[in-house]
Structure 1
Amino acid sequence: MADSLSPTRIQEWRDRHYNATVVDLRLIHDELMIIRIRPDEPFPQFSGGQYTVIGLGNWEPRTSDTQAEQLSEKELKKVVKRAYSISCPVLANGKLVAAHDMDYLEFYIALVRVADRKPPALTPRLFALNSGDRLFLGGKITGHYTLEQVADDDDVILLATGTGEAPHNAMLAELLQREHRGKIVSAVCVRYRSDLAYLDTHKQVVADNPTYAYCPMTTREPENLDDAHPDYVGKQYLQKFITSGELEDALGHPLNPAKTHVFLCGNPAMIGIPEINDGQRVYPQPTGVIEILEQRGLQADETGEPGNIHFEKYW
């Protein structure tokens, strides 16, 4: 075991498996980061909303205060890989960018400290990285969660929880670059304001683009929990954002199913994917966004039947 973890052996494994370099890593806080990774070879053209794979060897160190793991010598030699949606800085030096125009890929990642079945393998190692470190990056970028069906004058609504905002940032950059004529609304639900890593960027985009609205919301700030707080609003969820009329306020007009595409990314409970039972749609409880939107005339994607509600669940 000692020999298998010698610096020489570890470097051999890194040289064998790794094909990319961390060029920038920004810790938003202890459990949230934006990381930029440059592959050794140019990556293929891709669309906003797609994903690729990130990997690190089990021999790499883990950040502190995460669930301990016990690995065999055979397991230590393996590279653990997970799929991550590609994000986008949206702005660089005040100008619009698109993810596929850069020589690096940006990812928005939350640390998983503890998991139910087995210790989390990848994020504790990602959070131990520094700029200049090496890692594995998949050579294929794929996924059907894209803007392919969106017409130039359609309204686009991007609803996310937490780091589910990542693919929506890439979509936003793509829409703005192609001078999309329809209204764009991006709303994200997080626990605390400190979880809004891209807030300043979105404020600038809103200032520069009258057709864009950004609607962040929280669930665990004092004004969410304390009904005596002078600014008390209760817990803010995307479902309520729709049913309260706030979404249509952000759009500036009533929801038009014929000219609207909605993208949902993040917590499956927020999305609320229905099952088909004897030809009937059975929605999960508590009520998710799909049920609310389908009651308003929109239709979720189904196998072989594209709709105008598109979704990507994160676990």
Structure 2
Amino acid sequence: MAAWVEGRVIERIEWTPTLFSLRVAAELAPYKAGQFTKLALQRGEQRVQRAYSFVNPPTTPYHEFYLVKIPDGELTPSLGALQPGDSLLVQSQATGFLTLDELPAGRDLWLLSTGTAIGPFLAMLAEGEAFRRFENLVLVHGVRKGEELTYQALITSLVEQHGPRFRYVPFVSREAWPGAMEGRIPAAIDAGSLQERVGMAFSAEHSQVMICGNPAMVKETQQSLLALGLAKNLRRAPGNISMENYW
């Protein structure tokens, strides 16, 4: 069983009334971009815990987590009240297989996410290995409202650094938003409008696709990609599609 260590909040970033990030100092075992650990708060004899992915690349001197505050949730309202200097518990050993070393070789890497599930993909992109392994990279982020398109400074820096090799496609489902596609990611794949926006097709020969988000989006997007001839990526049978449900 992984050990728990005490962490200390060193910075909090308020994105919207319900979205925030915590930067935490804690002595953790080495981990990979794309993995997750657990955060917890102790309430008497009860330890309330949830899993959260790292947003930061492993080389940073802090650990960053991107959270949504659920009003009636057991943990997120309390995490959302933490301020710099406050303590929390962090599981010292990370886990998870949504990592680049689980992917076969390819030319194009598609990173398809919704909500806070963009976090592990930001860690991979900031770490840099994805740009060394793949020629073309696409980050897709689906949200309900435009204000939820967070981490724009980091994304803009990646666009400026890597130019046409890196494409960012935001989706906003509940309002019109400048520069964003409307609707949902799987529907755009089915219609071909996402591929048209990017200027690149999904290909069983060239594409690796990582999907991270709510279970409905993950399931429907996988079905859309299977219909295009892509296959699930399994260790015993390498393919194109790697997935993680984000709750």
* TM-score, normalisation: structure 2: 0.89
Q: Choose 146-155 or 163-172, whichever is displaced more.
A: 146-155
How far is the alpha carbon of 1:130 from its aligned partner?
0.2
CA contact (8 A) 1:49 1:145 kept: yes
- CA gap 1:112/1:271 in 2 versus in 1, 3 angstroms: same
Alignment of 1:69-108 (within 5 A): 76-88=44-56, 99-108=57-66
- 1:219–1:150 Cα change, 3 Å: same
- Residue 204 of structure 1 corresponds to 157
2:193 corresponds in structure 1 to 246
| Structure 2 unaligned spans of 5+ | none
RMSD: 2.3
Residue 25 of structure 2 is aligned to residue 38 of structure 1: yes
Q: Distance in 2 between matches of 1:179 and 1:18?
A: 34
Which AA in structure 2 matches 1:214?
A: Y
Query: For residues 119-138 of structure 1, what are the structure 2 equivalents within 5 Å?
Result: 120-138=73-91
Q: 1:79 to 1:149 in 2, by over 3 A?
A: closer
1:308 aligns with 2:240: yes
Q: CA deviation at 1:169?
A: 0.6
Letter in 1 for 2:100: L
Q: What secondary structure sits across from 2:111 in the alignment?
A: strand
**In 2 relative to 1, CA 178–201 (structure 1 residues): closer, same or farther, beyond 3 Å?**
closer
* 1:111 corresponds to 2:43: no
Match of 1:57 among 32, 35, 42: 42
1:218 matched to 2:218? The reply is no
Instruction: Describe the shift of the 1:146–1:246 C-alpha distance in structure 2 as closer, same or farther (beyond 3 A).
Output: same
* 2:211–2:242 contact (8 Å) kept in structure 1: yes
Give unpaired runs (5+ residues) of structure 1.
Answer: 1-16, 59-75, 89-98, 115-119, 225-230, 273-287
1: CA distance, partners of 2:124 / 2:111: 9
Checking the alignment, whether the CA contact within 8 Å between 1:261 and 1:308 is kept in structure 2 is: yes
Counterpart for residue 268 of structure 1? 215
Q: CA deviation at 1:247?
A: 3.1
Secondary structure class of the residue paired with 1:258: coil
Alignment partner of 1:168 is 2:150: no
Give 1:152 deviation, angstroms.
Answer: 6.1
Say how many residue pairs are matched: 242
Question: How far, CA to CA, are the matches of 2:131 and 2:105 in structure 1?
Answer: 9
Q: Distance in 2 between matches of 1:149 and 1:57?
A: 34
Deviation of residue 251 (structure 1)?
4.4
Cα offsets for 1:90-124 (capped at 9, x unmatched): xxxxxxxxx1111211111001113xxxxx21101
**Structure 1 CA distance, aligned partners of 2:158 and 2:236?**
36
1:228 counterpart residue number: none
In 2, Cα distance between equivalents of 1:161 and 1:178: 22
Amino acid at match of 1:213: R
State, as a whole percentage, how many aligned pairs show the same letter: 30
Query: Which residue number in structure 1 is paired with residue 8 of structure 2?
Result: 21
- Confirm whether residue 180 of structure 1 aligns to residue 133 of structure 2: yes
Residue 122 to residue 134, structure 1, CA distance change in 2 (3 Å): same
Q: d(CA) in 1 for partners of 2:181 and 2:87?
A: 44
Contact 1:185–1:250, Cα closer than 8 Å, also in 2: no
TM-score normalised by length of structure 1: 0.71
Deviation at 1:249, TM superposition (A): 3.3
Answer yes or no: is the 8 Å Cα contact 2:68–2:116 preserved in 1. yes
> 1 or 2, which has the higher strand percentage?
2
* SS across alignment from 1:215: strand
Shift of 1:298: 0.8
2:215 is aligned with 1:259: no
Query: Offset at 1:307?
Result: 2.8
- Secondary structure of 2:133's counterpart equals coil
